[in-house]
Chains A and B, each alone.
Chain A
Amino acid sequence: MSKKQIKTTVNSVEHEILVDSTWTLLETLRDHLKLTGTKEGCSNGNCGACTVMVDGKSSCSCLVLAPEVDGREITTVEGLADHGHLSPVQDAFVENSGLQCGFCTPGFMIATTALLNDNPHPTENEIRLKLAGNLCRCTGYDKIVRSVQDAAERLAKA
């Protein structure tokens, strides 16, 4: 195992980190940078709890090695709010009760933010397809879909 010095921007803050070559991005965020909003669920890319954006693209951080993000920009759930003001996506999830236990919520909000950046007016089918990689075991999918639809409307007005 070797150590690698990486430079990465996380939520607009530049970090220089000495990582083990075997660390995942998820471990680096949670254990080293103490950004524990990103959750570990299945650890194999099925559940989406660990979803973050890498250069704007939603990715399972459990399947990314820390040295792979050298020079990349990462956005985690902690980076969605703007100076203490929740983002339109976060407001929509809160006001539509798009969560129950909340464990999957950071992943859903990152996935939603990435989806709406790419496609500001998705159909319900497109929402369900693009969020299929995020599992909610409280089974609240209808309210999550309504939250995404509301988030799209909020962003269109913003």
Chain B
Amino acid sequence: MPNFDYEAPTSLAVALELLAQPGEVRPLAGGTDIIDQLKSNRRNADLVVDLKRIPELSSLESNGSGLRIGSAVSCTDVHNFTAKNSGYAALSESSELVGSIHIQNRASVGGNVCNAAPSADTIPALLIHEAIARTASASGEREIPLIDFFAGPGQTVLAKGEILKELVLPAPSANTASAYLRFIPRNEMDIAVAGVGSLIEVDPSTKVVTKARIALASVAPTPVRAYAAEEYLEGTAIDEATINKTANLAVQAAVPITDVRGSAEYRKELIRVLTNRTLTICLERLA
């Protein structure tokens, strides 16, 4: 472990001052990625700033306009909160898949985003729910659509001294359903070989899809949206045949590598299958 100092400020303003100091200053939420990375010398730190004692970063709430998730809120808390609020089913499902329950109890959804692993389970769910990343630094705040937040594996667009403050998700309309599925070789607790989050808004009388969002994990240097599949499905009446065509189109957005978890070809086939299954689940949820 490198030598670093540790501070746990209780206000965002103090945290942002600390983060603006020279040297490697690392924000810490759950720590389940960063502590391991520090131990194994994959990242360095002169100062670690624990964000968990800052009230607005450690709280989440929903109202008529949507859901606000402070960046230090644990996966367990997000899962429990969204499980009761079925409008965010994909987020509820994915936040229960990040490592084990022991990891979910500490790891934050915000940290899962900032760690920026292409395989991160919560990111496709946040993308289809059209999350906005609200960031903060000593020089002010900015809002970034989450799709523009990632710069590569483990890389985000956050500047030095800038942190993710919160994720803001608009409230889905009544005729909306979402689902997240991933494939892993075990039954539980592993890193996604591929993952798909799907969200559809469907006109109940005509079955025409009025909004489609499909996002993919583990098949590109960053999480990606399957735009061609979304564009096809929007305006189309949803049924088995159009779901199959959408699933085929989703594969176009996948540019995977071959690695120890699976070949590129296998991952593309997983995207087709998982897109099909998540859309089918969405349809069942709307029935």
Contact = CB atoms under 8 A, between A and B. Distances in A.
A44 B35 CA distance: 8
Contacts of A99: none
A86 to B, nearest CB: 23
Interface string B1-39: 111111010000000000000000000100110011001
Nearest to B37: A44
Nearest to A62: B35
B50 A111 contact: no
B16 to A, nearest CB: 20
A1 B103 contact: no
Interface residues of B, number: 29
B8 A67 contact: yes
Most chain B CB within 10 A, of A51, A60, A62, is at A60
Interface stretch (B85-93, B94-102, B165-173, B196-204): B94-102
A128 B100 contact: no
A60 B32 contact: yes
A129 B8 contact: no
Interface residues of A, number: 32
Given A44-B36, A59-B106, A63-B31, A133 B99 contact: yes
A60 B102 contact: yes
B277 interface: no
A22 B100 CA distance: 24
**6 closest residue pairs by CB, A with B:** A133-B100, A21-B6, A1-B3, A132-B188, A57-B105, A132-B189
7 contacts: A1-B3, A45-B103, A60-B32, A60-B106, A70-B8, A129-B188, A132-B188
Interface of A: 1-2, 4, 21-22, 24, 43-45, 48, 51, 54, 57-60, 62-65, 67-68, 70, 111, 114-115, 128-130, 132-134
